[in-house]
Amino acid sequence: MSGHSKWSTIKNKKGKADAARGKVFTKLAKAISVAAKEGGPDPELNAKLRDAITKAKGNNMPNDNIDRAIKKGAGELGGSSYETITYEGYGPAGVAVIVEALTDNKNRTAADVRHAFDKNGGNLGTNGCVSFMFEKKGQIMIAKTSDIDEDELMMVALDAGAEDMMIEEEGYEVITDVDNFQGVVEALENANYKFESSEITMIPNTFTKLSQDDAKKMQKMLDMFDDNEDVQDIYHNWEEE
C-alpha cells in the first residue's frame, strides 16, 4: 500500500484549510451527530462516534463544537435528520472513486454527485462496482520531524497493535485494522506524537496514474465533491504526483 496519494491530499487540503475550515467543521459535526444518534452519545460505548471525534480533533475542531454535535445527535438540541449514502463510480481514465455522504435530501445529493462525475469525464456506477478494490483500515499520518526516532515510533505503533508502518519522504503512515485503530491512536498520543490526520479510511489495493489533462479533470472533480456540504469523504485510487 502506498501513502503517496495520501500525503499529496494532505498538502492540498492544508493549502486551502483556512478558507474551508467552516465547511470542514460543518461536515465533521454532521458525522458526529449521526454517530451519536445511531449508537448513543458515549464514545466509550460507540466506536463510530469515537472515530468521528478522533477525526474532528485531528482537524482541530473545538471541543465545544464536538459537544454540541453530540447533543444534537442525542436529541438534546434540534436539528435535521441525516442518512448515510455511499456512491461508487469512475473518474477520468477509469480511476476508482467512492463518495460517502450524509444528507437530508437523497435526490439533491444524488444529482450533485452525478453532475460532478459527468462534468469531469467520469460516470456514476452501481454499488459494489469499485469498493472491492479498497480495504477499510485505520490510517494515522505523522509528519517527519528531527526529534522522531523511527525505530521507536514503529515499536510503539506495532506494540499497540498496528499492522504496518510505511516511511515516506514526507512522514510516516501507520496502518491498523479497524478494531485496533483507537488503541493505536491512544498509544501514539500518550507517547506525544502529533498527527497530520487519523481516521478510518478506505485504502486502495492498486493505484492508477493519469495524464496531465486527466489529472486536471480528476482534481476538479475532487474539488466539486469537497465543496458539497453533503459529501463527507472521498476515496480514490489516483496516484497523485
pLDDT digits (tens, 9 = 90+) for 94-134: 999 999 999 989 999 999 999 999 999 999 999 999 999 99
User: Among candidates 91, 114, 111, 124, which has minimal Cα distance to 219?
Assistant: 91
pLDDT digits (tens, 9 = 90+) for 12-68: 655 555 556 778 888 889 999 999 988 899 988 888 898 889 888 878 889 999 999
pLDDT of residue 7: 72
Give the C-alpha separation, 93 to 103, whole Å: 29
Would residue 22 count as lying in a domain? yes
10 and 67 both lie in a single domain = yes
DSSP state letter for 193? P
Predicted confidence (pLDDT) at residue 2 exceeds the cutoff of 90: no
Q: Which residues fall within 8 angstroms of residue 66, CB to CB, at 6 or more apart?
A: 29, 32, 53, 56, 57
Quick one: average pLDDT of 1-19?
58
Q: How far is CA 190 from the centre of its chain?
A: 23
Predicted confidence (pLDDT) at residue 8 exceeds the cutoff of 90: no
32 and 142 both lie in a single domain = no
222 and 127 both lie in a single domain = yes
149 and 189 both lie in a single domain = yes
200 and 141 both lie in a single domain = yes
pLDDT of residue 80: 67
If one counts the domains in the chain, the total is 3
pLDDT of residue 136: 94
102 and 138 both lie in a single domain = no
Give the C-alpha separation, 43 to 62, whole Å: 17
Neighbour-count burial of 15, counting CB atoms closer than 10 A to its CB (0-12 exposed, 13-18 middle, 19+ buried): exposed
What are the cell numbers at 114? 452525478
103 and 215 both lie in a single domain = yes
116 and 214 both lie in a single domain = yes
* Range(s) of the domain holding residue 100: 84-132+206-236
pLDDT digits (tens, 9 = 90+) for 137-195: 999 999 999 999 999 999 999 999 999 999 988 899 999 999 999 899 999 999 999 88
What residue type is 80 in one-letter code? S
What are the cell numbers at 122? 467520469
pLDDT of residue 1: 39
What are the cell numbers at 231? 459529501
